[in-house]
């Protein structure tokens, strides 16, 4: 028996996936390599959770298509899966709640595999809602960890007014953990340094440097499609075929939600004004 | 009535060590661009991996580079792999490859397979199309390729003139000035995946999934390509074009 505790990790990626691209998939691979390289983690599962239509982002096409494209793209992966729970909710769900949901599911799955009574432990933990202390919190037991996987742009979006609730950010980095893939042009270390709350939980934020720059954005993909340009080799072939077969992404689809307020902004601004 | 489009074939020469999604993207970007000029109809694309005689450090055997390119292009309906250059006993100047492609029928064939290949390529390149002239051949390259023209001893001046002047280049690049017969395709997406980085990742047992096709990854693992040993291959060897260019030019050289 080796003396070192290896923590099991599940990576969760939330986003529009409008559409999913090789870059999104690459993030999972990079994150897994990085975490396992530390010798402290074993990444057992990856979850892609497309956002619901109620997010009301401009150009967001129906969740059913975005789910199916994500599923097609992970056909050849033996560890990355797609989850529809978030997209099936009638209202937009805060990322923090999505993380919580998947964390509870993960614990429940562990309970089925484990002889140890994790349910009692989970109930006990819920009582201590505000006292999580970053990574030391999880080392009490060999409990698996759920980490939010994201690009540096998401990390920097923590600073956009009314997009995130401060307590949600604290919970995501404090109770769970973040794996942040840096793109050229972003400096996640600087952003963490400039944010007191991120600095406090910096031990739970894993920054992964992508040396092979791979800046395929879904926005560029949609723009190419509108202009009749090729997107082959930016996404898996079967997703390219799906988009063509269903005629997705046009000028019309890009105008969707153009005059609608993004759900988190509406919700948070409404709350703060009361 | 719109002017008839000139049929065009794009030829990419390089190590393809290994072929990557970015290489295949070059073809897609170039085709879109040439179509959008209104003057061209891209009828084919050719990947021509360099021969082992090139002597570049880390170059794995041509048979593997060819096999990987074929796997990667399985799903393409317009880009094919050409083995002629890789089968030549010595490294072949780019301009020679380009001349070969445009006048294949003049060169002797070593086997039935080669004859069939030649006929197939002839039919793509040389069959007069009902609507106009034979296809043109242009060299497809990335930004770093244009820079190699400046490296002393790497290119003969008359070859540069022929490649850029007689044939023409389609260069996918972020910057630089446009020149006659050099079509600059402004990269609309920065995709710096490079074969060098991929080989490095493979040596370190890191994932390269989604950077190169799955079938190519499987092939690499199956044949255990790209190790520290393979990267040391040709270390200290002078690159063949530099060695060749340093020799006096014989009149029958070409």
pLDDT (tens digit per residue) in B130-161: 344 568 899 998 877 777 888 888 888 888 88
A72 touches chain B (CB under 8 A): no
- Note whether A212 contacts B198, CB cutoff 8 Å: yes
Q: Which residue has the higher pLDDT, B228 or A141?
A: B228
The model's pLDDT over B72-92, given as tens digits with 9 standing for 90+, comes to 999 999 999 999 999 988 888
Section B51-80 average pLDDT = 92
Flag whether pLDDT at A84 surpasses 50: yes
Per-residue pLDDT of A117-144, as tens digits, reads 555 555 554 544 444 544 444 444 568 9
- Which chain B residues are closer than 8 Å to A29 by Cβ? 207, 209-210
State whether B211 and A26 contact (CB < 8 Å).
yes
Would you call A233 and B29 a contact, using CB atoms and an 8 Å cutoff? no
Task: Tell whether A25 is within 8 A of chain B (Cβ).
Answer: yes
* Pairing verdict, β A80-82 and A145-151: unpaired
Q: Which residue of B has its CA nearest to A23?
A: B210
Across the interface, of B29, B31, B189, the residue whose CB is closest to A215 is B189
Which 8-state DSSP code applies to residue B52?
G
Q: Which of A63-72, A153-162, B129-138, B231-240 has the lowest mean pLDDT?
A: B129-138
Count of A-B CB contacts under 8 Å:
62
Contact B206 A224 (CB under 8 A): no
Domain parsing of chain B, residue ranges: 6-246
Predicted pLDDT of residue B110? 62
Q: What is d(CA A88, CA A24) in angstroms, rounded to the nearest whole number?
A: 21
Confidence at residue B69, expressed as pLDDT on a 0 to 100 scale:
95
| pLDDT value at residue B242 | 81
pTM above 0.90, yes or no: no
Which of A13, A14, A23 is closest to A219 using CA atoms? A23
Q: Could you tell me the sign of the dihedral formed by the alpha carbons of A29, A31, A37, A43, in that order? A: negative
Residue B114's pLDDT band (cuts 50, 70, 90):
low
Considering only the beta carbons, identify the residue of B25, B192, B214 that sits closest to A213.
B192
Asked whether the beta carbons of residue B28 and residue A76 sit closer than 8 angstroms, the reply is no
Least confident of A69-78, A173-182, B10-19, B131-140: B131-140
What CATH superfamily is the domain B6-246? Answer: HUPs (3.40.50.620)
How close B112 comes to chain A (CA, Å)?
34
pLDDT score, position A264: 85
User: Residue B95: helix, strand or coil by DSSP?
Assistant: helix
The stretches of chain A forming alpha helices (DSSP H) are 22-37, 63-73, 85-88, 95-113, 118-127, 135-138, 152-157, 166-171, 188-194, 196-200, 218-226, 237-246, 251-255, 263-273
Ramachandran angles phi, psi of A65, nearest 5°: -70, -45
Chain A residues within an 8 Å CB radius of B190: 213, 215
Name the residue with higher pLDDT: A128 or B95: B95
b/e for B48-62, b at 16 or more Cβ within 10 A? bbbbbebbbebbbeb
């Amino acid at each position: 028996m080796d003396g070192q505790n290896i923590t099991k990790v599940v990576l969760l990626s939330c986003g529009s996936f409008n559409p999913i691209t090789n870059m999104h998939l690459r993030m999972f691979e990079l994150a897994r390599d990085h975490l396992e390289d530390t010798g402290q983690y074993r990444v057992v599962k990856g979850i892609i959770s497309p956002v619901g239509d109620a997010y009301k982002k401009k150009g967001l096409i129906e969740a059913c298509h975005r789910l199916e494209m994500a599923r097609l793209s992970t056909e050849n992966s033996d560890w990355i899966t797609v989850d529809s729970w978030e997209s099936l909710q009638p209202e937009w769900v805060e990322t923090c709640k999505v993380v919580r949901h998947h964390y509870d599911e993960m614990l429940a799955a562990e309970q089925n595999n484990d002889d140890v009574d994790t349910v009692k432990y989970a109930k006990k933990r819920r009582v201590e809602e505000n006292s999580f202390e970053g990574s030391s919190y999880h080392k009490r037991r060999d409990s698996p960890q759920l980490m939010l996987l994201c690009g540096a742009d998401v990390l920097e979006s923590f600073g956009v007014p009314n997009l995130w609730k401060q307590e949600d950010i604290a919970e995501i980095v404090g109770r769970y953990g973040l794996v942040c893939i840096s793109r050229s042009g972003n400096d996640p270390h600087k952003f963490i340094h400039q944010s007191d709350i991120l600095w406090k939980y910096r031990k739970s934020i894993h920054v992964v440097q992508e040396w092979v720059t791979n800046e395929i954005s879904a926005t560029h993909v949609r723009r190419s499609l509108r202009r009749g340009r090729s997107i082959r080799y930016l996404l898996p072939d079967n997703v390219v075929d799906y988009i063509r077969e269903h005629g997705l992404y046009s000028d019309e689809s890009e105008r969707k939600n153009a005059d609608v307020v993004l759900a988190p902004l509406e919700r948070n601004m409404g709350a703060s004004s009361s | 009535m719109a002017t008839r489009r000139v049929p065009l074939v794009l030829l990419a020469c390089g190590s393809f060590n290994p072929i990557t999604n970015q290489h295949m993207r070059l073809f897609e970007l170039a085709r879109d661009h040439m179509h959008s000029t209104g003057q061209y109809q891209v009828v084919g694309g050719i990947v021509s991996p360099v021969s082992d005689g090139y002597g570049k450090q880390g170059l794995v055997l041509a048979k593997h580079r060819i096999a990987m390119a074929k796997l990667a292009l399985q799903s393409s309906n317009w880009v094919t792999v050409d083995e002629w250059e890789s089968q030549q006993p010595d490294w072949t100047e780019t301009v020679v490859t380009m001349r070969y492609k445009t006048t294949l029928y003049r060169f002797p064939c070593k086997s039935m397979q080669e004859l069939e290949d030649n006929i197939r390529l002839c039919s793509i390149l040389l069959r007069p199309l009902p609507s106009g002239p034979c296809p043109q051949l242009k060299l497809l390259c990335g930004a770093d390729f244009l820079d190699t023209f400046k490296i002393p001893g790497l290119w003969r001046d008359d070859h540069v003139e022929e490649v850029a002047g007689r044939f023409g280049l389609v260069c996918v690049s972020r910057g630089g000035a446009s020149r006659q017969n050099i079509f600059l395709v402004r990269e609309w997406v920065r995709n710096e995946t490079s074969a060098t980085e991929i080989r490095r990742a493979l040596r370190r047992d890191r994932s390269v999934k989604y950077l190169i096709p799955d079938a190519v990854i499987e092939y690499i693992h199956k044949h255990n390509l790209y190790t520290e040993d393979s990267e040391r291959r040709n270390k200290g060897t002078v690159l063949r074009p530099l060695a060749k260019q340093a020799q006096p030019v014989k009149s029958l050289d070409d």
